[in-house]
Amino acid sequence: MKHNTSTSFGVIGLGRFGSALAQSLAQSGKEVIVVDCKEEKVRELRQYTEYAYVAETLTKETLEEIGIQNCDTVIVCIGEKIDTSILTTLNVVSLGVPHVIAKAISRDQGAVLEKIGAYVVYPERDMALRLGKQLVSRNFLDYISLDNEVEIQQLTVPPSMIGMSVQETNIRQRYGLNIIAIEREHSTDIEVLPSYRFARGDIIVVIGRVENIKRFETEIQ
C-alpha cells in the first residue's frame, strides 16, 4: 500500500467533486493519489491513476502508509461529513503537506478548516455566485473572471456606438477598458483596428476592472 514516489497531488474523498478533480489532474499529466472508503469509487479512478486506495479510516497512520505526506498539495473533498472533514484535514496538515485545500459546505465548517491550516473552497457556493452574476448582467453574453477585480466580458455594442469607430468611442481613455476582439457575423477578429466602425449586432470582448465595465454598461446606453 505504501509507495515512495514523490506525488504532486492527493485527493481524499471521491464524491462528484473529488472524482472530477482527480480525473482532471490525472488527464493533465499530474501524478495523483486518490483515497476513498468505497471500493467502487476507487475502482473508477484506477483507469486514471495507479495510486488509488481504499481506506476505511483516515487516521494519520493510514494516510502516512498510503503516502499522502509525499504530495505537494492535498485536497480534502469530504464536505458533507463535517467531523471527518475536519479530522482528516488536521491529519494531513500534521503530516507536513505543504499545501492543504479543503472543501466546505458552510461558513462555520470553513472557519474551523482555516484555523487548522487549510485553504478553504466552497464549490457549490462559488458556482452559484458565478451563475447569479451571469444572470443579472444586463448585456451579458459570456465572461471570464481573472480575479476579484479584473474580468473579460462579451458585450453587445449599444445603439449609441453604432457607426462610430473604435478610436471615436475612446473606450480605453474614458473607461480604462481594452477591446481585445470584435465578433460579427459569426466571425471573430482579434486584430482590432482604431478605424473599425461598429455595426448593429457587433459584440465586443473587453478586458478591464469590474467597476469600469459596470460604469461603461451604465453610461454608454
Q: For the domain made up of 7-125, give the CATH fold.
A: Rossmann fold (3.40.50)
What pLDDT shows up at residue 183? 86
Residue whose grid cell is 458533507:
80
CA angle, 217 as apex, 216 and 218 as ends, to 5°? Answer: 90
Domain boundaries along the sequence of the chain: 7-125, 132-219
157, 204 Cβ separation under 8 angstroms: yes
Q: What is the pTM of this model?
A: 0.59
Q: Among the listed ranges 43-57, 118-132, 165-179, which one has the minimum average pLDDT value?
A: 118-132
CATH number of 132-219, picked from 2.60.40.290, 3.40.50.10490, 3.30.70.1450, 3.20.20.70 = 3.30.70.1450
Helix/strand/coil for 147 = coil
Q: Span 31-50, mean pLDDT?
A: 94
Higher pLDDT, 221 or 192: 192
